[in-house]
């Protein structure tokens, strides 16, 4: 059980560890298409959690993942951004910045809680989770840089081949 002050602030206490099975989760993307982790088995899955749509750091990070999305796909990976904003907010964010990466809608922070991503004031910390084709957590990085996380994860992913 987590301390009451963590619950009060919306902070998570436990995080997944490398080798743990990925939680069985599903959520709609900004277009309403449901994404279920179980259905993505057989391929790498990159989840980048970010605090808020259309803020400077989050915009830079989402643009980098979008720019590198073809390279992630060549490496056999699906990439999803996750924050607690609505589908409408995600749609506006994608349109304004010509983003190509799908953005999952997680208003209650269920995905963040399941992976142990910290939350404060309803926003996720900037973390990255990579799930292996076997459905296990292969990489968990907390507090990543919005400017370099996409390239770092792509480099790590290519090294796994």
Q: Among the options 27, 58, 69, 153, which is catalytic?
A: 58
Cβ count within 10 A of residue 160: 14
How many angstroms separate the CA atoms of 45 and 101, rounded? Answer: 12
Residue 58 annotated in active site:
yes
How many angstroms separate the CA atoms of 146 and 114, rounded? Answer: 22
The DSSP bridge pattern shows strands 44-49 and 34-36 to be unpaired
DSSP helix/strand/coil, 77:
strand
Nearest to 144 by CA among 159, 156, 128, 155: 128
Catalytic residue IDs: 58
């Amino acid at each position: 059980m987590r301390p009451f002050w963590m619950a009060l602030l919306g902070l998570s206490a436990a995080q997944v560890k490398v080798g743990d099975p990925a939680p069985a989760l599903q959520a709609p993307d900004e277009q309403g298409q449901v994404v279920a982790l179980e259905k993505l088995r057989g391929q790498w899955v990159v989840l980048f959690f970010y605090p808020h749509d259309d803020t400077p750091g989050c915009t830079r990070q989402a643009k980098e993942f979008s720019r590198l999305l073809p390279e992630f796909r060549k490496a056999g990976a699906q990439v999803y951004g996750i924050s607690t904003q609505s589908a409408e907010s995600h749609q506006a964010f994608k349109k304004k910045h010509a983003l190509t990466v799908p953005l999952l809608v997680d208003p209650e922070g269920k995905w963040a809680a399941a992976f142990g991503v910290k939350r404060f004031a309803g926003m996720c910390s900037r973390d990255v989770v990579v799930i292996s084709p076997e459905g296990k957590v292969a990489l968990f990085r907390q507090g990543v840089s919005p400017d370099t996380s996409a390239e770092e994860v792509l480099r790590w992913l290519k090294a796994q081949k």
